[in-house]
Amino acid sequence: SKEGLKEEHGRLTKEANSTPQEPRGRKPFEEKWETVGDKRQKQKAKKASIRQKEAQEAKIKARLKAPNSTAVVLTLQPEATKRGITYTELLEQAKQRISLQDLGISGVRPKTTVTGARMLEIPGASSGEKADALAEKLRATLNSVDVRISRPIRRAEIRLSDLDDSATQEEIVTAIATKGGCSPSDVKVGAIRRDRSGLGTAIASCPLTAVEKLVVVKEKDK
């Protein structure tokens, strides 16, 4: 009928003139253009970040490089000096009573420290045990009242984290000495501090050679 055609025509005209609505919950599509320059900048930034990380790791490893020699230091005590005892006498006694060959030492390089003490340097990055043995022999041979025997060791500090409630300073010392290949007496561990999560952190000081081994163990565990 004519009335039906008019209603249909009016409905179609209204729909044609109305503005299309976006479905609820959907955002209009926005096309994003990425230029070649943007990609190059991102690639450069990524490469720079990688280079920076590698440089930092190399710097840390360089710091942890083990020394090429170890040493034993003899320090003449003030009272011995007053009695006329000299380093020459002490070293002569040591030569007569101690066999370097028995300790596996082919030779030592004598030096004088800034304070005037005498340093016996043993070449070799792995000569720590030999230096320890020589120090023990010197302590047993020379009078401790006249001379003090010491083993200077290059040290480094490491931060231990995520320690559980059962961890103790003694256990940490034992673990570092075992994995680091050093004496427990050379390891010093500070107080364990707990955070809100209950996990603890502690600072440990130990020989540089031990720290180097601990870093290698950590890298293998990754």
CATH number at residue 181: 3.30.70
Tell me how crowded residue 210 is: count the other CB atoms within 10 A of its CB.
26
Report if residue 14 sits inside a domain: no
Boundaries of domain holding 165:
155-221
Report if residue 214 sits inside a domain: yes
Judged by average pLDDT, the poorest of 43-57, 157-171, 192-206 is 43-57
Task: Kindly state the helix (H) or strand (E) to which residue 27 belongs, with its residue range.
Answer: none
Q: How far apart are CA 84 and CA 90, in angstroms?
A: 12
Q: How far apart are CA 78 and CA 82, in angstroms?
A: 6
pTM of the complete model: 0.53
Residue 16 clears pLDDT 60, i.e. is over it: no
> What is the structure's pLDDT at 142?
93
Looking at the structure, do residues 136 and 161 belong to the same domain, yes or no? Answer: no
Looking at the structure, do residues 124 and 194 belong to the same domain, yes or no? Answer: no
Residue type for 115, please?
T
Find which of 4-8, 32-36, 144-148, 214-218 is predicted with most confidence, using mean pLDDT.
144-148
Query: How far is C-alpha 126 from the geometric centre of its chain's CA atoms?
Result: 19
> What is the structure's pLDDT at 188?
92
The burial of 116, by beta-carbon neighbours within 10 Å (0-12 exposed, 13-18 middle, 19 or more buried), is given as: exposed
Measured in degrees and rounded to the nearest 5, phi and psi for residue 70 equal: -125, 170
Nearest to 95 by CA among 134, 150, 152: 134
Higher pLDDT, 93 or 221: 93
Residue 176 clears pLDDT 80, i.e. is over it: yes
> What is the structure's pLDDT at 41?
74
The burial of 121, by beta-carbon neighbours within 10 Å (0-12 exposed, 13-18 middle, 19 or more buried), is given as: middle
> What is the structure's pLDDT at 183?
83
Report if residue 48 sits inside a domain: no
> In this predicted model, what pLDDT tens digit does every residue of 66-118 receive, in sequence order?
567 889 999 999 999 999 999 999 999 999 999 999 999 988 999 999 889 99
> What is the structure's pLDDT at 31?
58
The last residue of a domain, from among 150, 176, 195: 150
Looking at the structure, do residues 139 and 105 belong to the same domain, yes or no? Answer: yes
Instruction: For tokens 């005037």, name the residue.
Output: 116
Looking at the structure, do residues 117 and 163 belong to the same domain, yes or no? Answer: no
Report if residue 212 sits inside a domain: yes
Residue 34 clears pLDDT 60, i.e. is over it: no
Tell me how crowded residue 155 is: count the other CB atoms within 10 A of its CB.
15
Report if residue 13 sits inside a domain: no
> What is the structure's pLDDT at 42?
72
- How sure is the predictor about 65, in pLDDT bands with cuts at 50, 70 and 90? low
